[in-house]
A = this chain, B = another copy of it.
Amino acid sequence: MTDTITKMLNTHPAQIDIDQQLLAECLAACFECAQTCTACADACLSEDMVADLTKCIRTNLDCADVCETTGRVLSRHTGYDANITRAVLQACAQACKSCGDECAQHADMHEHCRICAEACRRCEQACNRVLAAIA
């Protein structure tokens, strides 16, 4: 997917003020995290001990929604508004932090939570790097 993301950035007619390497990595991280959180929420739902995973499921669902929206906003460069980009990236870094922390607590028992925690960390860091670059 990163390959297609980079090609689309290269062919965009608008000027893109954010470092394209950072941007491509953040886009890939957002979509990966969105898919992983959706899958982790559903995997948790199929566990026998689902009753112990309800906060994890809820946080996964929030994080999937926020990552998807962030990936969409970062895919747009027409009429750029730094205020929206910044606020959305901050929300995404927060959702990924909360979800990464929650999934990490179940990482020893559930491999899907371990993989998901890693995707959340990657996305949190990628958002923070873009935030630093546009500060």
Q: SS class of chain A's interface: helix, strand, loop or mixed?
A: helix
Residue contact B43 to A115, C-beta cutoff 8 Å: no
A47 and chain B: residue at smallest CB distance: B13
Residue contact A50 to B51, C-beta cutoff 8 Å: yes
CB distance from A52 to the nearest CB of B (A): 10
Q: How far is the CA of A18 from the CA of B14 in the complex (A)?
A: 36
Q: For residue A48, which residues in chain B have a CB less than 8 angstroms away from its CB?
A: 13, 51
Q: How far is the CA of A59 from the CA of B95 in the complex (A)?
A: 23
Residue contact B79 to A88, C-beta cutoff 8 Å: no
Q: How far is the CA of A31 from the CA of B78 in the complex (A)?
A: 22
- Contact A68-B69, Cβ < 8 Å, known A8-B112, A46-B77: yes
Chain A: residues with Cβ within 8 Å of the partner, total of 69
Residue contact A79 to B58, C-beta cutoff 8 Å: yes
CB under 8 Å from chain B, chain A span 60-78: 61-62, 64-66, 68-69, 71-73, 75-78
5 contacts between A and B (CB under 8 A): A12-B42, A39-B76, A62-B84, A66-B73, A66-B84
15 new A-B contacts, CB < 8 A, other than A8-B112, A57-B79, A90-B91, are: A4-B32, A7-B115, A13-B46, A13-B47, A14-B46, A39-B76, A48-B51, A55-B79, A57-B78, A58-B76, A61-B72, A66-B88, A83-B94, A84-B98, A91-B91
